[in-house]
Structure 1
Amino acid sequence: MKSGEKPAKSREKKVKSREKIIALLSQGNTLSAAALAQRIRIPPPKPWKKQIARLKADGVLRRIGPDKGGYWQVVEKTD
């Protein structure tokens, strides 16, 4: 393994978390980030914040409205 390279198991776990987040938000887009973390059993606060930020940066998730009263939108990618 190269220096700075993460083990395959770590990458696999992140992919699973990412998929779970997308699935949950597709069903109920008004979940808070903390509620998401609780449902997929990611210990707060850093790991789930990182996953949400990565999904937003990748253009998969978009936050519509304010933190209180807003909702998440899962962006459908068409390739």
Structure 2
Amino acid sequence: MSEKTSEKILSLIQKNKEITIEELAHMTGVSTRSVERNLSKLQRENRITRIGPDKGGSWKVNA
């Protein structure tokens, strides 16, 4: 798992809090599964938090 991909995902979430996994996959050029792994990693590291439900929720980037 590339640190570069995690940073790209973080940057895209900062620009659009309601971005979908599919959109992240398309914009980073990796599979949806890879995006899911990166999101889980970022959540474990407390760098992002999911607000609300899977559908209709948004992301919060932690400082």
TM-score of the superposed pair, with normalisation by structure 1: 0.74
Q: Which ranges of structure 2 fall in alignment gaps of 5 or more residues?
A: none
Q: Deviations over 1:13-62 (max 9, x none)?
A: x11101100100001110011211111110232x2111110000000010
Which is higher, the Rg of structure 1 or of structure 2?
1
- Secondary structure at 1:25's aligned position in 2? helix
Identity of aligned residues (%): 29
Residues 35-46 of structure 1 mapped to structure 2, 5 A cutoff:
35-45=23-33
> Which residue of structure 2 aligns with residue 34 of structure 1?
22
Give the root-mean-square deviation of aligned CA atoms.
Answer: 1.2
Q: How many residues align?
A: 63
- Secondary structure at 1:66's aligned position in 2? coil
CA distance in 2, matches of 1:34, 1:48: 8
- Secondary structure at 1:62's aligned position in 2? strand
- Tell me, yes or no, if structure 1 residue 52 matches structure 2 residue 39: yes
- Secondary structure at 1:20's aligned position in 2? helix
If asked which structure has higher relative contact order (CA below 8 Å, sep 6+), I would say 2
